[in-house]
Amino acid sequence: MVSPMYLIAVLLGAAFLHPLFERAGRSLAKSVVLLVLVFIAVLPVSWLADLTWRGMVPVVFQTAGFQAPVSISLRVGVEEAVFLIMINAAALFGGIYLMLRKSPKWEGKVQVLFLTMLLGVNGLVLTRDLFNMFVFLEISSISLYALLAFTRSSDAYEAGFKYMVAGGIASALFLIGVIYLYRFTGTLNLDVMIAAGGGPGGKAGLTALFLLAAAVLIELKPFPANGWGADAYQAADPGISAMLSAVSATGIFFVFYKITPLLGAEILRMAAISGGITFAFSQLLAMKQVSVRRMLGYSSIGQIGLLTAVAALAPMLTPAFSQAAGGSSLPGGLVAGSGFLGGGVFPLLVLLAGNHLFSKAGLFWMSGITGSVDTGGLPERASLRRSPAAAGLQGLLTAALAGFPPFPAFWAKWLLIMMLVSTGSYFLSAVILLGSLIEAWYLFRWFLNCVKKPQDSGNVHDEEIPDDFAAMEMDQEMSQELRPDLKSGGVPVSGWGFITLFAPLMHGLILAAAGTVLAFMFFAGTPGFALLLPLAALALFTLLDSVRVPFKLQVFLGIAVTAAYGLMLLPGLVGIRLVFGLIFIAGSAVQMVPLVNRKGRHPGLMGMLTALVFSLGNLLFFRTSLEFFFSWELMTVTSFFLVSRGNKASGAALRYLVFSLGGAFMILAGLALSSSGMNGGITAVLMGLGFLVKMGALGLHIWLPGSYAETDDDLSTFFSSVLSKAGLFMLFMTAGLLAQASFASVLGWIGVLTAFAGAFLALFKEDIKYTLAYSSMGQVGYMLLSFALMSQLGWMNSLYLAVTHLLFKGMMFAAIAGVIYRTKTRMMYQMGGLISRMPISFFTVLIGIIALSGVPPLVGFGAKWMLYTALIEKGWYLQAGIAMFASGVAFLYLFRLIHVIFLGQLKDEHREVKEAPLWFLVPQFVGIIGIMLFSMFPDIILKPLQTAVAPFFSGDIFWEGYTVISTLGYWNGNVVMYVTMGVFLVPLAWLLTVQRRHTQKVGQFNIVYAAERPYRPETTHFGYNFFSPYRKALGFLLQPAAARFWYWVGSIAEVAGASIRKLYSGNVQTYSLWIVLYVSIFLLLLQGGV
Amino acid sequence: MSDMQDMEKTESEEQIARIAAEMRLANDGLSDQDKAYFCDARPQAVEPYRGIMEKFANWARSQSLWILGFGTGCGAIELRPLMTSRFDMYRYGIQPRPTPRQSSVFVIGGYASVKTVKRIVRSYEQMQGPKFVLGLGSCTVNGGMYWDSYNTINRIDYYIPVDVYITGCMPRPEALLAGFNRLKQMIREGRCEGMNTYAENFDWYKANQKQIIKDWNMPDYNW
Amino acid sequence: MNAILTKALYTLISLFVITNYGLLLGGTMARVRAKVQGRIGQPVWQPYLDILKNNFKRTGIYHGVMFYLGPVFRLAGGLGTYLFIPAVYGSAVFSNFSFSGDLLLVMYFIFFGQLGMALGAGQSGHPYSPLGVSRGLAQMTAFEVPFALAVIAVASQHQTLSITELVAAQQGGILNWVAFTNPLAMIAGMISFLGMTMGNPFSVVIAPQEIPIGPPTEMQSSFLGMLQTNRAIFQGAKLVLFMNLFFGGATNIVSMVVKTFLIYLYTVVVGASFPRFRTDQSIRFFLGVPTLIGIAAVVIQML
Amino acid sequence: MNSISAAASAGTGSGSGTGTETGTGTGLSGERFPVRERFPVWKDKFSLVSSMIQRQDLAFVQVPMQTTVAFITHLRDLEGYAHLVFFTAIDYIEDGIFRLTYMLHNYRRHHDLGVQVDIPREDAGMESIHHLWPHGATYQRELKEMYGIDFPGSPGVDESFVLEGWHDIPPMRREFDTKEYSEKTYYPRPGRVTYDPTEYMKEKLYPSEAETW
Amino acid sequence: MMTQIVLLIGFLLSLTGLWGLMTRRDLFRMIISFSLLDTGVHMIMVGIGYVKNGTAPIFDEALAPAGAVEKVVDPIPSALVLTAIVIGLAVTALMLSYAVRVYTARKSLSVEAVKELRW
């Protein structure tokens, strides 16, 4: 094993000799520094290899034959090696980042400081001697103080000064603690102290230990004694902030980890509490930040707080971990891994720390590369939209930091929550989940603000009626954007500019690779590799994007792989899974077709889409709760990125993310509770709520309209007709849990109210996509209601609705997407009379609305029939009444939809529009054929559904030819169809006979107009505020109560963040006061606790 | 060269002929943009049924007279009493109708100014044939007391065909009822072919109308 | 084959009867209204004349395919609604196609004609047509609420949704009628029937002075004739439906005529005595007391 | 003209005091508004041409074209004549003038004041008052259409008002012969007879009473 | 006794330094307080390492290796103090230079001048 002294020596030597190299040549000096960085990154790898494969044991190295503290004593074990690999890798890329950057230059002095800082941190990690620790701490700190001033701004000096004051107090505490420890134990060696049975006993000993722990904790920036830390993050150069967060903080955390065996239960408990508080409050604080780096800084502080808490809880968690590892809920790979990583909770810490280190450093660099200073977004010319690579990278890093699969934090989050819940730490679990939610909220808010389009205000959650004369200003902005001198922003768009992305790219790759390896480890041993297909698809299409494969080709490929996937997967499914499999896979394949129509390049789109479809597919065959949760989160994150592609979708996307993630966390909590043996009501409530969020049930729906509507027009259909069923499917899967009567009836009420609210809100929308979005919400409400009936007819109807809703909503969205594509507007009242221009689309929408509104003879009636029959059978009369009202209201908005778009007056600007492109028509044809078939022969869908629910409910309904007979009534779709045809054709024949001659087709203005003539189609077309009497009569129901409630919830967090912020007055003396107070309270509690 | 021109000429002549055959109206009063909004078909006379069928149809038409509710002048006030219980025109199958599409009788309620004539023509053309016109009051006959006004027409029958005149200034409701009965009688006798008269003499009527209606911002025939 | 021919014949007879009955009923009621106003009124057969006249129109116009099909949809809706209701209990001729669907089918088939007509009216491009449609549909959703509650109450009372069975359950004396066994449901249903007939308090849809005749503003000639025919049939269908639901159905034509005449007379009397509601007023009206009555009816069934 | 001024001056001469001499026998004593006392003031400021008190609640003043709008503004803002009752013109073709009359009303005093101004017929035009009363624009539009008097700046003054597409000389000008125009344009139905009403009534309606006349 | 006095002075100095650090408005005074704090800590360290009547831990004639442990002052705290003094010096120097820079930029040495970064 190579001695760690070389590490120290090389760093020290390079730092000292640097001026000489510098004199010989700047590039030489830089190369030497790079070489050193590579060396220190590679060396720990070799240690790890030695320690694992070559089976060596950890070694303690001494310098110069002396004992520490007179000399240096360094230990190389698995822990040290792993942390050094991560730290030094980050340092390497940090160095590369600083080097590749054009301005500010990476000066020689800075390189020296960089090396000494690394020296300090490496020493911190390796040393086993308390006084060495102090020395290394001071080396790294002093280097950091100096590095902070790298930007030479007064802010940097200020931050440096504050940092020094705080650091000085901490080191004073540290020194006193160390010297007392020495006094009590007679040694400074950690191993000896630990071997002697932990720290010294007694109050004095405890105090000494406390002083040591407090010093380390203060260096870790606990709440509220951390204002100086945030200031430093904010003022430093992004490259330095990254190092501060990734290298220094991780190193100091490792110190804390090292001394935990020494500290004893009381101090550890206090440290855990402090860590938890820091985590929660930092997230609140970060949410209110305007400065990107300060926000990231608070996030770092929070993450380190979480790490502290986990490390401090290690004694408590270790048994749970081994229990979990021993049980079936953890895969064998990780069990083996945990052994080889040193056992205990150490793997968890590595996952958390590594994930944080790489993603946070990457994000700091991204903020430097894109010039993003303000969380409110980037200047228009620098928007990340212009650089898909940069946008993708930032998305990846953000997703990793937020803990989405497959990144390490996801697995860590899973393990952590599982362990915490199994040890009964419900409160801490809740705090962690809540904090993670807030973290995802502000991180993605920043991401969205970076990638959003200039016209996106960022707060679009509901329709916006455009001003009549807004177009002029827009033009001006556009022309500004086209000015060539403004074209080159901070973001590299092409060519060599991409090289600046190298460092974050490497971090992204490391994270992705680690995540994939982890996924393989977790799903090893099972044929669960299919679960990783979404990732494979994502990788494949990213590759295709990077070699610039034309988009159309990608779409065809996407359809092909989806179809192949379906062919592989579906034959193996039965029952309800098969029904949803068809919806998820076949429905998606058909609805990808309109994408062919797109022009240009759309990097990432197909990848995300196929990944989304595959992760939906995953839901069909998962077996363990981890597999399920993995797929669920993957579905959330891919669909989020799809939403965020919309033109004005950033606000909606954020809401979508926060709600989805909140739901997912509830599901996680529920899963953890159930796996720890609690199958009570709370589990059902949590999981049910999680699924209801995804379905957009009333009260949890406020994310829905925006994200369905603001998504690209040809993608909306996925969300509405496919994705919304995922929650329903999971409800079916967990029906056993929810089957208790009281839950079912609550679900039923939620369902029927959702149905009504969706229909009612859709009624007043001018924006067609919002109409359809709310309509989808209402339809899902019916599905939920039917599901909640927990009867044969109810479930059949729920499935029937799911299938038919896919057909008609899919084709309507496709038709509407075609219309929007042609007319370039989403406002219904700006359309009109399009029937003459787009007859096929009209026919599709006509069939769609007849089917959707449940008018016989089309499929929709079957759903109504089953619904009301089942409701009356069950005795849910009031629900039935509301459902009928809702379906009447649905009829209103559907009529409005078809009328205002296709009938009435054709506008001048639409006089020349053509029928939608063929690719938009394909899903429409499929839908029409499906609807006609099912309408004519309802048994071909109803009978399989009856079979599907047969394992759950025995038969209440009978068949007599085509007639389906329930206990209450009967319905023969076939005869109804014939009778309808008959009564339709006979009058038509009569009319054609009588009105054959001299019937003149007239123009659009040939109307009786009180003996006047119309002058403009716009003023003649009745479309705006179509149901004004309804608004007058029932408009009070439109109060956005749910939105207000969630605003209120959100504002609690914001107000909390805003008021906590006031602690950080910026005055260094206040900061010192907080440190003193922190220490004193810590001590008081500790003494009181003993 | 000249051959070519001739060919072109004949082609364009053919085109003109074709357009004429299709009975397209020029609609010169409209801007190019407005032309697209309106139908430009020419009204055509419709051959009545033959024999008993037309008699039966005429009987039905005479028994169901729907008045266009458009009071064009002061005389329209005399229509109101007809609906009251004292006169009760419903007895005779006569009832008001708010839209010209569904009406069959147009009662010109007294004097018609140039401005009103424009609306009268428009509404008349929007009625579906067979349609009948009742001129109410002396003004419709020869201008009545406004005979020398710069703005009041003298003879309504120069602009639309009139079936029955009811003179008086004003005629009483009783006179109106008499007029309606006369109209019914004429319909039954098959003498009310104003719709065909209008179509056959369309150019003459149009010329008369255009002579006084100077801002002709409507199609030549308001379908 | 023979069965199908017989059914076709029966259907024709049934339709013939209901059409003529509907037309005569309309004429009679117009006369009743005239009497209320102190007039003599139009001849009883005036509806026939009007339909004849409209079909004898020589010319017509249409605005497009949907405009052309609108009246067809409307008439199909009326015919279909009627054909799915058994008009006379126990009669083979008048049982129509009630075997193909139950009460729910009838309730939803009503929308078929509404939708078609609304689309036809919409394509006319006339702003008043959709304005009328908007009012009509808005009002319809409102009166559907008490009606739906009444139907649910009746269905749960007799545990069936089949109209024939509902009628069967009401046989054997006047006290077996739903009107007496479930008076609350009857009251809610009959109030919503006022809205369904678009009689006077709820006639804002066709307000002639304000939006000339509403949806059919542009309809003329045979199109209008078809709408008038439908009016008779649809009116008949609705009357028969309410008779079946609340008043014990009918075992023969005579009792059907008497019962439906009385039901219709009730709407005419109400219409002749009340002024017109605005749309929002009628929405609020239907969602107020009638809905509460309906809820009461349903809640009684739940107890 | 002279007679008007004479009457006005006579009025001014004896107007002060009780004012009973101007009473019209309605039993009211005194003018509702001592308009007579205002005349000298207005004359100084706006160079009134003449003034006349028609009744105790109606007076007329004549002003030159140049001060008209200033005078009307003064009346509206300071004298309480807040309402423009009507605004019309008379064609004095013999004098070659149009006489415009702005009829103003004072709500508090219940007094009407007609402001008259003579403008030349040739190229007739007048300052617009639409900024004082928005409905003034409508009167001005009508005057433009019927008399051809232009009011530059008045909203919509060039749009047709009652006559749609009128191309002849404005019909209310007295040089326009409406009968000739009607005969030329509207196809007079032959056989029209005109009777002298008096004679006709004597003959047809009241033959018995006719003898007594 | 001596040890106690040294320790007492050390704690007093430290607390004085801390108090000064937290109450003085002038950056230079704060730095001086910081030095006081540092010095106090060093005195504590020395005080703890002191052994009564011990000699300096240098092997020479007076001190034979055998039995030296009882006679000498523990050398480790002294070594620590030396290092700590050096480090403290470095930090103080850096602080002073930053204070100068801050003064150049903000034209003030008040602690109020370094409140740009906050919240």
| Residue contact E80–A179, C-beta within 8 A | yes
Q: Is residue B69 part of a domain?
A: yes
Nearest neighbour of B99 by CB, restricted to A998, A1006, A1008: A1008
For residue B88, the domain's CATH number is 3.40.50.12280
Nearest neighbour of C42 by CB, restricted to B60, B61, B91: B91
- Six token digits for residue A372: 């993003």
Q: How confident is residue C204, by pLDDT bands cut at 50, 70 and 90?
A: confident
Q: How confident is residue A479, by pLDDT bands cut at 50, 70 and 90?
A: very low
| Residue contact C53–B101, C-beta within 8 A | no
Query: Is C71 touching A (CB cutoff 8 A)?
Result: yes
Least confident of A651-665, C239-253, D31-45: D31-45
Looking at residue D1, what is its pLDDT? 40
Q: How confident is residue D29, by pLDDT bands cut at 50, 70 and 90?
A: very low
Tell which A residues from 126 to 155 touch E, by Cβ distance under 8 Å: 131, 134-135, 138, 142, 145-146, 149, 153-155
Looking at residue D60, what is its pLDDT? 93
Query: Is B114 touching D (CB cutoff 8 A)?
Result: yes
Distances (CA, A) of A855 to A887, A891, C109, D77: 10, 9, 6, 68
Chains with 3 or more CB pairs closer than 8 angstroms to A?
Answer: B, C, E
Pick from B59, B62, B64 the residue to mutate for testing the C interface (most C CBs within 10 Å). Answer: B64
Burial per residue of A853-880, b for 16 or more beta-carbon CB atoms within 10 angstroms, e otherwise: bbbbbbbbbbbbbbbbbbbbbbebbbbb
Q: Is residue B70 part of a domain?
A: yes
Q: Can you tell me the mean pLDDT for D58-73?
A: 92
Q: Is the pLDDT of residue A501 over 90?
A: no
Pick from B111, B140, B150, B214 the residue to mutate for testing the D interface (most D CBs within 10 Å). Answer: B150
Q: How far apart are CA B78 and CA B171, in angstroms?
A: 8
Q: Is the pLDDT of residue C164 over 80?
A: yes
Query: Is E73 touching A (CB cutoff 8 A)?
Result: no
Q: How far apart are CA C156 and CA C297, in angstroms?
A: 10
Looking at residue A484, what is its pLDDT? 39
CB contacts of A1062 in chain E (<8 Å) are 119
Burial per residue of A83-114, b for 16 or more beta-carbon CB atoms within 10 angstroms, e otherwise: bbbbbbbbbbbbbbbbbebeeeebebebbbbb
Q: How many CB pairs under 8 A join A and B?
A: 45
Q: CATH second-level architecture of E2-52+67-114?
A: Orthogonal Bundle (1.10)
- Six token digits for residue C228: 């008038």
Q: Can you tell me the mean pLDDT for C90-99?
A: 85
Chains with 3 or more CB pairs closer than 8 angstroms to D?
Answer: B
Q: Where are the domains of chain E?
A: 2-52+67-114
Give the nearest chain C residue to A832 (CA atoms): C125
Least confident of A22-31, A100-109, A892-901: A100-109
Q: How far apart are CA B86 and CA B140, in angstroms?
A: 26
Give the nearest chain A residue to B99 (CA atoms): A1008
The set of residues, in sequence order, having a beta carbon less than 8 Å from that of A995 and lying 6+ positions away, is: C60, C221, C222, C223
Tell me the per-residue pLDDT of A673-724, one tens digit each, with 9 for 90 and over: 887 776 677 888 888 899 999 888 888 888 988 888 888 888 888 888 888 8
| Residue contact C137–A891, C-beta within 8 A | yes
Looking at residue D142, what is its pLDDT? 93
The shortest C-alpha distance from E25 to chain A (Å) reads 9
| Domain that residue D63 falls in | 2-168
Its pTM stands at 0.89
The shortest C-alpha distance from A272 to chain E (Å) reads 25
Separation of first and last alpha carbons in chain D? 39
| Residue contact A175–E80, C-beta within 8 A | yes
Handedness of CA D82, D87, D90, D95 (dihedral sign): positive
**Residue pair A333/A522 in contact by the 8 Å Cβ criterion:** yes
Q: How confident is residue B94, by pLDDT bands cut at 50, 70 and 90?
A: very high
pLDDT > 90 fraction of chain C, expressed in percent and rounded: 55
Looking at residue D6, what is its pLDDT? 39
Q: Where are the domains of chain A?
A: 527-621, 751-995
| Residue contact A1004–B223, C-beta within 8 A | no
Q: Report the candidate in A940, A984, A933, A995 with the shortest Cα–Cα distance to residue A962.
A: A940
The shortest C-alpha distance from C15 to chain B (Å) reads 24
Distances (CA, A) of A49 to A6, A43, A45, A337, C210: 17, 10, 6, 14, 90
Least confident of A95-104, A830-839, C65-74: A95-104
| Residue contact E76–A1073, C-beta within 8 A | no
Q: What is the mean pLDDT of chain A?
A: 85
Q: Evaluate whether chains A and C are touching (3 or more beta carbon pairs less than 8 Å apart).
A: yes
Q: How far apart are CA A522 and CA A516, in angstroms?
A: 10
CB contacts of A1017 in chain B (<8 Å) are 37
Q: How confident is residue A609, by pLDDT bands cut at 50, 70 and 90?
A: very high
Q: Can you tell me the mean pLDDT for C18-30?
A: 93
- Six token digits for residue A1071: 């900061």
Which of the 8 DSSP states describes residue B77? G
User: Going residue by residue through chain E (119 aa), what tens digit of pLDDT does each one get?
Assistant: 777 888 899 889 999 999 998 888 888 999 999 999 999 998 888 887 766 666 666 666 666 666 655 666 677 777 788 888 988 899 999 999 998 988 888 888 888 888 888 87
Tell me the per-residue pLDDT of A929-970, one tens digit each, with 9 for 90 and over: 999 999 888 888 888 888 888 888 877 788 888 888 888 888
**Residue pair C89/C166 in contact by the 8 Å Cβ criterion:** no
Q: Report the candidate in A833, A214, A639, A871 with the shortest Cα–Cα distance to residue C298.
A: A871
Chains with 3 or more CB pairs closer than 8 angstroms to C?
Answer: A, B
CB contacts of A175 in chain E (<8 Å) are 41, 44-45, 80, 84
Q: How far apart are CA A921 and CA A488, in angstroms?
A: 40
Q: Can you tell me the mean pLDDT for A295-305?
A: 93
Least confident of A414-423, A685-694, A822-831, D108-117: A414-423
| Residue contact B39–A1002, C-beta within 8 A | yes
CB neighbours of residue A481 within 10 Å: 13
Pick from A906, A994, A1006, A1016 the residue to mutate for testing the B interface (most B CBs within 10 Å). Answer: A1006
| Domain that residue B171 falls in | 52-212
Give the nearest chain B residue to A1014 (CA atoms): B37
Q: Is residue B42 part of a domain?
A: no
The shortest C-alpha distance from A900 to chain C (Å) reads 8
Give the nearest chain B residue to D191 (CA atoms): B142
Q: Report the candidate in A26, A29, A122 with the shortest Cα–Cα distance to residue A72.
A: A122
The set of residues, in sequence order, having a beta carbon less than 8 Å from that of D6 and lying 6+ positions away, is: none
For residue D40, the domain's CATH number is 3.30.460.80
Q: Based on the structure, what is the number of domains in chain B?
A: 1
Residue A1010 backbone class (left: φ over 0; alpha: ψ -120 to 50; beta: rest): left
Give the nearest chain B residue to C48 (CA atoms): B60
Q: How far apart are CA A80 and CA A98, in angstroms?
A: 26
Tell me the per-residue pLDDT of A380-426, one tens digit each, with 9 for 90 and over: 666 777 788 888 889 999 999 998 988 999 988 888 888 888 888 88
Of E40 and A739, more confident: E40
Q: Is the pLDDT of residue B10 over 70?
A: no
| Residue contact A168–E34, C-beta within 8 A | yes
Looking at residue D210, what is its pLDDT? 53
Q: What is the mean pLDDT of chain C?
A: 90
**Residue pair B126/B68 in contact by the 8 Å Cβ criterion:** no
Looking at residue B16, what is its pLDDT? 66
Tell which A residues from 152 to 191 touch E, by Cβ distance under 8 Å: 153-155, 157-162, 164-165, 167-169, 171-172, 175-176, 178-180, 182-183, 188
Q: Is the pLDDT of residue A491 over 70?
A: no
Of D23 and A189, more confident: A189
Nearest neighbour of C56 by CB, restricted to B61, B93, B99: B61
| Residue contact A165–E80, C-beta within 8 A | no
CB neighbours of residue C76 within 10 Å: 26
pLDDT > 70 fraction of chain A, expressed in percent and rounded: 92
Least confident of A85-89, A106-110, A984-988: A106-110
The shortest C-alpha distance from A735 to chain C (Å) reads 26
The shortest C-alpha distance from A836 to chain C (Å) reads 8
Of A107 and A919, more confident: A919
Tell which B residues from 8 to 37 touch C, by Cβ distance under 8 Å: none
Beta bridge partners, D103, equal D86, D114
Nearest neighbour of A1026 by CB, restricted to C134, C162, C284: C134
Looking at residue A342, what is its pLDDT? 53
| Residue contact B128–C61, C-beta within 8 A | yes
Tell me the per-residue pLDDT of A369-388, one tens digit each, with 9 for 90 and over: 887 777 777 766 667 777 88
Q: How far apart are CA A223 and CA E115, in angstroms?
A: 19
H/E run at residue A971:
strand A970-972
The shortest C-alpha distance from B50 to chain C (Å) reads 13
Looking at residue A489, what is its pLDDT? 44
Nearest neighbour of C220 by CB, restricted to B46, B102, B130: B102
SS3 E119: coil
Q: What is the largest distance, in Å, between two alpha-carbon atoms of chain B?
A: 80
CB contacts of B64 in chain C (<8 Å) are 46, 49-50, 52-53
Q: Is the pLDDT of residue A427 over 60?
A: yes
Looking at residue A79, what is its pLDDT? 85
Pick from B111, B148, B155 the residue to mutate for testing the D interface (most D CBs within 10 Å). Answer: B148
Looking at residue D3, what is its pLDDT? 40
Q: Is the pLDDT of residue A296 over 60?
A: yes
Q: How confident is residue C54, by pLDDT bands cut at 50, 70 and 90?
A: very high
SS3 C166: helix
Q: How confident is residue B17, by pLDDT bands cut at 50, 70 and 90?
A: low
